[in-house]
A and B are shown apart, each in its own frame.
Chain A
């Protein structure tokens, strides 16, 4: 699978590299960067999206995704932080497919990815 990872934390990017080494990862550090990557990589299978980011945050990215027919078909898993449940709820309203709370174990993330993949088949 080709997975776009959107997070402003270098630590989390490294974590995803280790956790998801069987997949091909594309990295973005904020929302605008992610949109560019999505247009460049039309065959992206999944997006892992952090909400709190500089420049364009995860919620703004989801709103932009809604406007673009090419991007609507790409499933999104939101990586959320406890204490910001309203952001998670808003992300689901904006069309996110699932969410995983930090800190998470590798199994929780891969389970969420498998569920989305099964649903998409």
Chain B
């Protein structure tokens, strides 16, 4: 971007700042368009007397400045699209994080995980797996678009045998099928997202199918999957822990009331 151009001054774009950046870019784009109009008017106007350069030289110079301005407009338009994209990505991450930690009700947290998968990720079929005791199969805490008699995820238990999922449960690596998952084998998954509480792998979110109008997982979806990996399990475990403690507290209070009444 050139500096000290006529009609505008230096273009400044703040670091990622969401909607404000979009507004700033729109304003800059308007200024650039105004500059193009001024240059076009100058080109059409007759050469002023007393100028040392010839009219032909001035036309060449103005044309050059016009091309520069047009290039700036194009660049700004591209940056506007990029910043809108970035703002959308940050918005999704903010909303997902906010809502994951907005409740200590386990059912509500599970519902939020489902809503993130459906509404933000565009997943049509997915399952949330949580590890149980040693040697026990994973619990299917949440299943969307999966029949109860599904041979792998049905009946509330994950029976294992899906290479990607088993590997992710084992090593905690986020795995996303390449090329939108067109080449994945039968029973394989679009994404296996490890769920961590501190450094322990406590389960996985398994994405089996996306909505038809969203053919593949995009780069920004990876950020959302990373966020789910870090936050979903801890939010769910915190809620379950709180719920268990709350139940125990109520039982103790009932016992105390009973003892006092007796």
Contact = CB atoms under 8 A, between A and B. Distances in A.
Interface string A1-21: 000000001111011001101
A101 B88 contact: no
Interface residues of B, number: 27
Contacts of A103: 119-122, 211, 214
A102 interface: yes
Nearest to B89: A105
Given A83-B124, A83-B212, A106-B84, A11 B116 contact: yes
Given A12-B115, A82-B211, A82-B212, A102 B98 contact: no
B94 A18 contact: yes
B213 A82 contact: yes
Nearest to A103: B122
B91 interface: yes
B87 interface: yes
B99 interface: yes
Given A10-B99, A14-B98, A102 B122 contact: yes
Contacts, number: 62
Chain B binding surface SS class: helix
A15 B95 contact: yes
A102 B118 contact: yes
B229 interface: no
B252 interface: no
Contact of B119 (A9, A83, A105, A107): A9
Given A10-B102, A83-B211, A101-B213, A18 B91 contact: yes
Contacts of B84: 105-107
Contacts of B213: 82, 101
A75 to B, nearest CB: 23
A11 B99 contact: yes
Interface string B77-121: 000000011011001101110110010000010001001101111
A-B pairs with the 7 shortest C-beta distances?
Answer: A82-B211, A11-B115, A103-B122, A11-B99, A105-B88, A15-B95, A14-B95
22 contacts: A9-B115, A9-B119, A10-B115, A11-B96, A11-B115, A11-B119, A12-B115, A12-B119, A15-B120, A21-B19, A82-B124, A82-B212, A83-B124, A83-B212, A102-B119, A103-B119, A103-B121, A103-B211, A105-B84, A105-B88, A106-B87, A107-B84
